[in-house]
Amino acid sequence: MTRKELFKNTLRKSVHAWKLINELPLSDDESLMLRHFMDQPGFLDLHWRMFVPAIKGQGTEEQKQKWLPLANKMQIIGCYAQTELGHGSNVQGLETTATFDPQTDQFILHSPTQTSSKWWPGGLGKVSTHAVIYARLITDGKDHGVHGFIVQLRNMDDHSPLPGITIGDIGVKFGNGAYNSMDNGFLMFDKFCIPRDQMLMRLSKVTREGKYVPSDVPRQLMYGTMVSVRQTIVSNASIAMARAVCIATRYSAVRRQFGSQNGGIETQVIDYKTQQNRLFPLLASAYAFRFVGEWLKWLYTDVTQRLEASDFATLPEAHACTAGLKSMTTSATSDGIEECRKLCGGHGYLWCSGLPELFAVYVPACTYEGDNVVLQLQVARFLMKTVSQLGSGKAPAGTTAYMGRAKHLLQCRSSIRKAEDWLNPAMVLETFEARALRMAVSCANNLSKFENQEQGFSELLADLVEAAIAHCQLIVVSKFIVKLEGEIKGKGVKNQLKNLCYIYALHLIHKHLGDFLSTNSITSEQASLANHQLRSLYTQVRPNAVALVDAFDYTDHYLGSVLGRYDGNVYPKLFEEALKDPLNDTVVPDGYHEYIRPLIKQHLRSARL
Ligand SMILES: CCCCCCCCCC/C=C\CCCC(=O)SCCNC(=O)CCNC(=O)[C@H](O)C(C)(C)COP(=O)(O)OP(=O)(O)OC[C@H]1O[C@@H](n2cnc3c(N)ncnc32)[C@H](O)[C@@H]1OP(=O)(O)O
Ligand SMILES: Cc1cc2nc3c(=O)[nH]c(=O)nc-3n(C[C@H](O)[C@H](O)[C@H](O)COP(=O)(O)OP(=O)(O)OC[C@H]3O[C@@H](n4cnc5c(N)ncnc54)[C@H](O)[C@@H]3O)c2cc1C
């Protein structure tokens, strides 16, 4: 499809989905499932996942009563317009202004520079009638920082932009289809006025007289919508990883290369230990991310309930966990999808393998909802704070509780003696805890050598990110282990999941061996025992690998991959796909008479001379 066709077709699908949701009707969970099968980014994502939650989280009761019924019936369509051309990560650096005019009881929204143009918001370019706009609040000449406002963008009769608003799509993005179904947009305000009651005023207010009244709740609650989406992105990482792994695993069982004895059949590539060493850790990651996603959902629900009761104690941890796990799982999934493409050899590069499109549509997850490095630095700040409070009498809680055993973890030596010890959950966990704590403490020690903490922090950024990743990996491993300790339905399933859990953990040790060795969390002998155990786990997973991806229950239609077909009938279908290509509509291609024939005829003439 052309961009225009793709966009229009996505509108058609979205509106049809909305019709089904109402007519059947579908529950919230079923509606999410429908979005999952629609399988295309579109304006509904931003309306439901960001616009509505922003009003719910930051609006007063009156604002919610006014705006939510309209949004819930989709009588208005909204988006989340925070990022600008000049600033995305640095939210406090946004430039759009919202200046209160006491004469008219209005805010005047203005884009003072080119870099202050809103740039990127999904659904903004062509669809949204409204947006939650983030802008600097100015009253009586004083800048109070960034706040949220509900703003109507387009005329409700003919969809034209309201006077004072310039709006459009930012252009084609990475990939062929992929994220191009979405109208990511730009927006500029030219002294555009909105009534005072359209500032989202749950967290702070501006009175009729123009007085700014901050509330006593943390201002970071303004970032709540991002926390909520980051949490869902972790579960989505599992879905995308599982999809790529399903394709690569099934195809690896179909594909044969080398190893034929006496004219017999060749070896299935899935039987090569190199293939297993690249594929099975990704299979394990798909399960691991699913379980940590379930846990994160619980954590998010818990913190939301606490916030409602004005208990803000766990907010920093919820922020660190959602930011860190969003970052870690999306980076691993993007890399994993690309690895799955390579695992499928040349055919993985074909569009009909399903992997190029999956990669193109998935990879912006490393950037949207917070650049992955920027987010790990938030985790690092949280860890440095926690380390600095050790010994103060305040026991670390939640995911940093292990730091409370700092004395032990800083000096303990791993008691792994034989390969099977690597199947002991307590030993594995302690190894990850020791590594994470030692990396965090080492960063804290290095930071303390700087007189200026901020300067030290910026000097040590790379180490800090690594410490944050170590902490996040510990969380994923520990939540996988917790999952195994709970009730798991299905005969034999627990053993399979155990294998995957240890593959996940031991492969991380292998991949980050430098961390584990340099922190003395393990010795090189223990590392080689881990590798030995890993190979044995691969052998155990091998006979069940296809069943473990079939368990994701993806239909062929959803997978959209000739290589990942359930029936394994790959080769005839590759031909079928090739023959569908428009280039094969004619035997002699368009352009032959214009370019090829004159070229070769000229060659023949000169050859005769
Ligand atoms: C089934 C298939 C379906 C598929 C559907 C997929 C689902 C996804 C749908 C939507 C898809 C895409 C949408 C994408 C939308 C967007 O991208 S919206 C824009 C997102 N933008 C960002 O994420 C910006 C990133 N930047 C920030 O979040 C912050 O500014 C940053 C965290 C970098 C902080 O910058 P600072 O300037 O340092 O922060 P301050 O504002 O000064 O605050 C400092 C303190 O506040 C704490 N903090 C920061 N963020 C939060 C938070 N969210 N919650 C709680 N606390 C927070 C921070 O730790 C500091 O605390 P301290 O002072 O140290 O104690
Ligand atoms: C597909 C897509 C959809 C989006 N949808 C929306 C939307 O609906 N609404 C919306 O408001 N926004 C949206 N965005 C914008 C998105 O949230 C931002 O692009 C994102 O937050 C990253 O910010 P940035 O572009 O400013 O990156 P930058 O911060 O400019 O990053 C550039 C580089 O600088 C590095 N960097 C930046 N700061 C630091 C630092 N402090 N320390 C070390 N390194 C640093 C980063 O790691 C990165 O390598 C979307 C983006 C994409 C790609």
Catalytic residues: 369
Task: Give residue for tokens 């290589």.
Answer: 563
Nearest Cα neighbor of 563 from 551, 548, 549 is 549
Query: What's the pLDDT score for residue 608?
Result: 64
Query: What's the pLDDT score for residue 448?
Result: 95
pLDDT tens for each residue of 295-325: 999 999 999 999 989 899 999 999 999 999 9
Residue whose CA is closest, atom 26 of ligand 2?
Answer: 88
Task: Give residue for tokens 């990996």.
Answer: 473
Measured from the CB, is residue 48 less than 6 Å from ligand 2? no
| Cα distance between the two ends of the chain | 48
Query: What's the pLDDT score for residue 609?
Result: 54
Ligand 2, atom nearest to 50 Cα: 8
Binding site residue list: 83, 122
Query: What's the pLDDT score for residue 489?
Result: 85
The SS3 assignment for 402 reads: helix
Measured from the CB, is residue 91 less than 6 Å from ligand 2? no
Residue 189 tokens, joined: 């305000």
Show the low-confidence residues of the chain (pLDDT under 70): 603-609
Residue 399 tokens, joined: 């995911």
Q: Whose atoms come closest to the Cα of 53: which ligand?
A: 1
Residue 356: its H or E element = helix 355-362
pLDDT tens for each residue of 4-47: 999 999 999 999 999 999 999 999 889 988 888 889 999 999 99
Given the cut 0.95, state whether the ipTM is greater than it: yes
Ligand 1, atom nearest to 364 Cα: 12
Sequence-distant (6+) residues with CB within 8 A of 82 are: 88, 91, 94, 118, 121, 134
Query: What's the pLDDT score for residue 216?
Result: 86
Ligand 2, atom nearest to 46 Cα: 8
Asked if 96 and 135 touch (Cβ cutoff 8 Å), the reply is: yes
Distance 543 CA to ligand 1 centre (A): 43
Binding site residue list for FAD: 83, 122
Query: What's the pLDDT score for residue 541?
Result: 98
Ligand 2, atom nearest to 122 Cα: 8
Distance 10 CA to ligand 1 centre (A): 28
**Most ligand 2 atoms within 8 A of CB, residue of 40, 49, 83, 119 to mutate:** 83
Distance 124 CA to ligand 1 centre (A): 20
Residue 167: its H or E element = strand 165-169
Predicted TM-score of the model (pTM): 0.97
Q: Whose atoms come closest to the Cα of 219: which ligand?
A: 1
How many residues would you count in the chain?
609
Distance 448 CA to ligand 1 centre (A): 27
Q: Crossing angle for the helix pair 461-485 and 273-308, nearest 10 degrees?
A: 90
